[in-house]
Amino acid sequence: MSDSDLPEGVAARLKRNPDGLFSAVVQERGTGDVLMVAWMDDHALAQTLATRKATYYSRSRKQYWVKGETSGHYQYVHEVRIDCDGDTVLLSVDQTGAACHTGTHTCFDTDDRLLLRAE
């Protein structure tokens, strides 16, 4: 699948930043936990749709990466949605192993990252 192989109308709905990227929020299908946030472009999204393996763009390395290709912690994508503004996609995934590069299940699961909690 190439970039032009995005489903009809999808590329037109996406709003990209000046680098051609949009954010991807990754949610675990079974629990609803938000696992991580990453960046995609048209190519990464097209690859994700074609393979059901979450593919992202690394801004620091300036290259594509398939989640789990080096760690074995894959994300099998069940559903992809575009938000109302078109600048974010939501991936519903089955996660194998840790989603966070720190080795935790999600990038949002430790108390030292907690900024506010309703009492």
What residues does each domain of the chain span?
28-104
For domain 28-104, the CATH superfamily is: Phosphoribosyl-AMP cyclohydrolase (3.10.20.810)
In angstroms, the Cα distances linking 82 to 21, 31, 50, 98 are 14, 20, 17, 25
pLDDT tens-place string over residues 36-86: 999 999 999 999 999 999 999 999 999 999 999 999 999 999 999 999 999
Query: What does pTM read for this prediction?
Result: 0.90
Sign of CA dihedral 92, 98, 53, 2: positive
Give the end-to-end CA distance of the chain in Å, rounded to a whole number. Answer: 48
Alpha-carbon distance of 3 to 6, in angstroms, equals 6
